[in-house]
Copies of this chain bind each other. A is one copy, B any other.
Amino acid sequence: MKKTEPCFLTAAEATAQMKAGTLTSEALIRSCLERIETRDPAVKAWLHVDPDLAIRKARELDKRPIMGPLHGIPFGVKDIMDTADMPTTYNSPTWQDHRPTRDAACVNIVRQAGAVILGKTDTVEFAFNSRKAASHNPYNLAHTPGGSSSGSGAAVGDYQVQCAFGTQTAGSHIRPASFNGIYAIKPSWGTVSREGVHLISPILDTVGWYGRSVDDLILGAEAFRLPGIESLSPRDVKGLKIGYCETPYWSRAETGAKKAMALAVERLQKAGAIVEEIVLPAHFADISEAHTMIMFGDGRVALYDEYLRQGGNLHPELKLTVENGRGVTPEKLVAAYDLADACRMEFDAIAAGYDAVLAPAATGEAPKGLHTVGDWIFNGLWTLLHTPCVAIPSVLGDIGLPVGVQLVGPRLSDAKLLAVAQSLQHVLDDFADTRAKILAAA
């Protein structure tokens, strides 16, 4: 497809064109549907698309005044989220015919903001460590798009849809952003309702969304009324104070992440930002283990229902979790909660000294094969620390796959972080101009 087709626009660009009367939602949706028809037999981002429904909704929107910040924008919904007009399978063999009668809160909120739900995107089963999505990385079909928000990441990355929901319990949202060359926000924990989203962990699960620019993410932030979003004001790059944070897990960084972080520092400094290294206190090294303990402890509780329903059909990894094969004990779980609580306060105090903290978004380029979704080591800590994270595409790695970085802020500083990210997107995103070209030719 030609890269001048509407499907290649960012959501913010499409919104501007619709406001100017040079684009209709119907034309945008039709372009996305055409892109899906062309590409999705190979990429396999979607479990369900309803073209007729989407076109009908777009036509209705084209006839009425602006509903909200996402008016007329196509949106993909991760298939662990309930939808009243489409199946919700959790990518579980047991739930293939499941039809909820109510939208998840997040789905209704974007609908009320004017979004057109295009369909349901593939996911790791229950978004937890089990049956993988069938989705491929749009940059190289032999590679994973990451997970568990596999289909959402791949669909936005492949220009099949402007925005999509992901969720993160470990690294399920930010890592696919990095792997698919797209933007993502994981908002502060607690700022988006999880009503109607399949739950794993009350203290970890976070709903986020993907877009193709920070401006796209801001449209969603307005729909969800993220803290401070009503008074978002642009920031001058010159003089911004950025904390450079390799995290205690830097030894896991591959060449892709190293390249992305080094280039980010170089470009930030060239643009007039002040970059200072942050070395987190030594006990932050234990967060990864605490995160794993909580995830498996909470998973044991969350998946017990499915264990009873599915019996022997339950995926072996889920069965292992429910049967506590991970060796979670009350003592270890309480210790993990307490470490996280302490680190959360400490990190907020550290981050308060910066306009944003720069950290790796993934260990490197997407691994080969669909049997893996990649390493969550650079994500689990921020999930547990409840910080807002904004992923920004950064470079193409050695094998030509995208790698991103993320900006992190203290809890509930979402609007400030988005403002900083907005001013830094053109500094940090080194392959913005080539992405559409690469994929239009794919």
Residues of chain A touching chain B, judged by Cβ–Cβ distance below 8 Å, are 98-102, 105, 108-109, 112, 189-195, 198-199, 202-203, 205, 224-225, 227-228, 297-298, 301-302, 304-305, 308-309, 330, 333-334, 337-338, 341-342, 344-345, 348, 410-413
With A and B bound together, what is the CA distance between A368 and B191 in angstroms? 37
Q: List 24 A-B contacts (CB under 8 A).
A: A98-B101, A98-B102, A101-B101, A105-B305, A109-B304, A109-B308, A189-B202, A190-B202, A190-B297, A190-B298, A190-B301, A192-B301, A193-B305, A194-B199, A202-B203, A224-B304, A225-B304, A227-B330, A334-B412, A337-B411, A338-B341, A338-B344, A341-B342, A341-B345
With A and B bound together, what is the CA distance between A348 and B105 in angstroms? 35
Contact, CB under 8 Å: B195 / A202 = no
Contact, CB under 8 Å: B105 / A304 = yes
Using Cβ atoms and an 8 Å threshold, which residues of chain B touch A112?
A: 308-309
A99 nearest in chain B by CB position: B101
With A and B bound together, what is the CA distance between A109 and B102 in angstroms? 22
With A and B bound together, what is the CA distance between A202 and B301 in angstroms? 15
With A and B bound together, what is the CA distance between A345 and B342 in angstroms? 10
With A and B bound together, what is the CA distance between A183 and B305 in angstroms? 25
With A and B bound together, what is the CA distance between A304 and B113 in angstroms? 12
With A and B bound together, what is the CA distance between A413 and B329 in angstroms? 11
Using Cβ atoms and an 8 Å threshold, which residues of chain B touch A309?
A: 108, 112
Using Cβ atoms and an 8 Å threshold, which residues of chain B touch A297?
A: 190
Using Cβ atoms and an 8 Å threshold, which residues of chain B touch A98?
A: 101-102
Using Cβ atoms and an 8 Å threshold, which residues of chain B touch A305?
A: 105, 108-109, 193, 195
Contact, CB under 8 Å: A301 / B193 = yes
Using Cβ atoms and an 8 Å threshold, which residues of chain B touch A410?
A: 334
5 nearest A-B pairs in the assembled complex, by CB-CB distance? A341-B341, A105-B305, A330-B412, A112-B308, A202-B202
Using Cβ atoms and an 8 Å threshold, which residues of chain B touch A341?
A: 338, 341-342, 344-345
Using Cβ atoms and an 8 Å threshold, which residues of chain B touch A199?
A: 193-195
Neighbour of A102 across the interface among B100, B224, B348, CB < 8 A = B100
Query: Known pairs A108-B305, A193-B302, A225-B304. 9 more at Cβ < 8 A?
Result: A98-B101, A112-B309, A190-B203, A193-B305, A202-B202, A337-B344, A337-B411, A338-B345, A341-B342
Using Cβ atoms and an 8 Å threshold, which residues of chain B touch A337?
A: 344, 411
Distance in Å from the Cβ of A209 to the closest Cβ of chain B?
15
Contact, CB under 8 Å: B334 / A348 = yes
Contact, CB under 8 Å: B195 / A302 = yes
